[in-house]
Amino acid sequence: MATRRKFIAGCSLALSSVLVSGRAFGIADPVLKKEGKGNKNSKHESLKLGVAGYSFLHFDVKESLAMMRRMEVHYLCIKDFHLPYDSTDEEINNFHKTLAESNVKGYAVGPIYTESKKEIEDAFEYAKRVGVDLIIGIPKPEDLPYVVEKCKEYDIRYAIHNHGPEDKVYPNATVIHDYIKNLDRRIGICFDMGHHTRDQQDPIKDVVRYKDRIFDMHFKNVTEASGKGTTCELSRGVIDIPAYMKALNKIKYEGVCSLEFEKDMKDPLAGISESVGYFKGVADCQNVEVL
């Protein structure tokens, strides 16, 4: 198993290159030589890399897209501060057009907190109008039967987000899975691997354990596996990112790895760029294409 230190030794990630082009370049050592035969133009697996809209809390759509272009990241989970719930159809169309001009796809909406059936209805109607088939949400447990009803009515998937030890309802993916395991397959998990780790859970084992119900993930590293842990760049935390990404390839994960960076939200570009470069470097060493 490749450790973070071994990866850094094998793959030199130049932040200056990341900031210019979003690409990371790796030199494989014996520990991390590329798997399989052929060159990097013959990738045998792929992962989608995106950004969770919350990472751009202090930036408008154009500023956010400018950063995504520099990093060559093409998927965005849409937050309401970029596309308000009461947006007109024309505003929604213009929003998607703006994203497309930067080669970015808005693939989901949320996270959306709901406290009532009316708010659940509004969330599904919003997702339908935006044109996505996935909602990242935080409903009350007693409202889950109604969420299932709406999943069936709209044929839209719903992924519940875990928020770590401070969240007494959904602290980790195991708790969410226990709530939903016997419910309709359109309701699943937005696996926040960082918060899961902060709740002293094993993200590598659990991403495999709950693979059939993980629709989306907030991709991050954390400084320690406790409530005191905070978000950090992918290469700097306690989660073994190469092992985690190998697990994603093993389970053939088809959702988006959506980077959520909360370390310095008023100046996030350098931190997100470092994480993008590290992600792409690990993928390259594992002979995985990043979409």
Residue 8 lies in a domain: no
Asked if 193 and 241 count as a contact pair (C-beta separation under 8 A), the reply is no
DSSP string, 156-196: -EEEEEP--TT-SS-SSHHHHHHHHTTS-TTEEEEEEHHHH
Residue 29 lies in a domain: no
Task: Record the pTM.
Answer: 0.86
What is the arithmetic mean of pLDDT over 215-237?
Answer: 97
What is the arithmetic mean of pLDDT over 210-236?
Answer: 97
Residue 259 lies in a domain: yes
DSSP string, the chain: ---HHHHHHH----HHHHHHHS-------TTTPPSSSS-TTS-SEEEEEEEEGGGGTTS-HHHHHHHHHHHT--EEEEPTTTS-TT--HHHHHHHHHHHHHTT-EEEEEEEEE-SSHHHHHHHHHHHHHHT-SEEEEE--GGGHHHHHHHHHHHT-EEEEEP--TT-SS-SSHHHHHHHHTTS-TTEEEEEEHHHHHHTT--HHHHHHHTGGGEEEEEE-EESSSSTT--EE-GGGSSS-HHHHHHHHHHTT--SEEEE---SSTTS-HHHHHHHHHHHHHHHHHTTEEE-
Residue 35 lies in a domain: no
Residue at token pair 């306690």: 238
What token pair was written down for 15? Answer: 């932040």
| pLDDT value at residue 179 | 98
Residue 227 lies in a domain: yes
Residue 120 lies in a domain: yes
Residue 165 lies in a domain: yes
Flag whether pLDDT at 92 surpasses 60: yes
The amino acid occupying position 134 is L
For the beta carbon of residue 118, count every other beta carbon within 10 angstroms. Answer: 9
Flag whether pLDDT at 233 surpasses 60: yes
Task: Determine the Cα–Cα distance for residues 163 and 180; give it in Å rounded to an integer.
Answer: 17
The range of the structural domain enclosing residue 175 comes to 44-290
Flag whether pLDDT at 42 surpasses 90: no
Flag whether pLDDT at 7 surpasses 50: no
Residue 168 lies in a domain: yes
- 244 — pLDDT class (breaks 50, 70, 90): very high
The CATH number covering residue 165 comes to 3.20.20.150
Task: Determine the Cα–Cα distance for residues 209 and 203; give it in Å rounded to an integer.
Answer: 10
* Mean pLDDT, the chain, integer: 89
Total of domains in the chain: 1
